[in-house]
Amino acid sequence: MMKSADELAARLTTERERLRQALQGVDAATAACRIDGVDGWTSIHDAMKHVASAEYSMMIIVQRTLDGTYQKVQDFDLNRFNARQVEKRAGQSWADTLGELEQVRAHTMQTLAGLTEEQLAIPTHHPVWGDVDIAGMFRIISIHDSLHRKDVETLKDELAKAP
C-alpha cells in the first residue's frame, strides 16, 4: 500500500486542517477543562500535548530507521509512555502546545518532502502498530490526528453540556 510523498503530504495536510478546525474557538481555559467519564484524554490541552509528543516520537523512529540506528523497544507500554510525555509538558501553556504542534508538523512535512520512494518503502517498526514501512509511519501520523480530532470534538460537546 505504498503511497507517494505527495499523497502522504496531502493526507497529512487534510487531517491536520480538520484538527485545526476542531480546535477553533478553544481558548486556554476551555482547553484546560477536565471532563471525567469520557474515553481517551480528559482535557483538550492534554490531548494536544499528546498529539505533538507522539508525532515527534514517530519522527524519531523515521529518522533512526533512515540512519540505520532504530531498535525496537522491548516491553513497550503505550499508556505509560503517553502519560510520561504529557507529564513532561505539564507546565506548557496552551499557546506553547499549539506552537509545538505546528513546529513538529513543519518538521514532519520537511522530512517527508526529502524522501524518495525507495526510502518510503524501508521497513521499520511502530511500537503499537507493528511492522510498517516509513510511508506507513506517515499514514499512522495522519490517522492519529483523525483519532484525536474526534477526542477534541467529544470533549467540546461534553463541555457544551456542562452547567
The count of structural domains within the chain is: 1
Domain that holds residue 142: 5-161
What average pLDDT is seen over the chain?
A: 93
Q: In the numeric block, which cell numbers belong to residue 158? A: 461534553
| Domain CATH for 104 | 1.20.120.450
**Strand (E) positions, 77-161?**
123-126, 130-133
Q: Spell out a b/e string for 49-81, using b for 16 or more CB atoms within 10 Å of the CB, else e.
A: bbbbbbbbebbebbeebbeeebeeeeeeeeeeb
User: Exposed, middle or buried: residue 127 (CB in 10 Å: 0-12, 13-18, 19+)?
Assistant: middle
pLDDT value of position 107? 98
Round to whole Å and give the CA distance between 39 and 154.
9
Crossing angle of helices 94-113 and 134-161, rounded to 10°: 160
pLDDT in tens, 46-64: 999 999 999 999 999 999 9
Query: DSSP code of 42?
Result: S
pLDDT surpasses 70 at 95: yes
* pTM of the shown model: 0.93
pLDDT value of position 73? 85
Single out the residue of 37, 124, 52 nearest to residue 93, CA to CA.
Answer: 52
pLDDT in tens, 100-151: 999 999 999 999 999 999 999 999 999 999 999 999 999 999 999 999 999 9
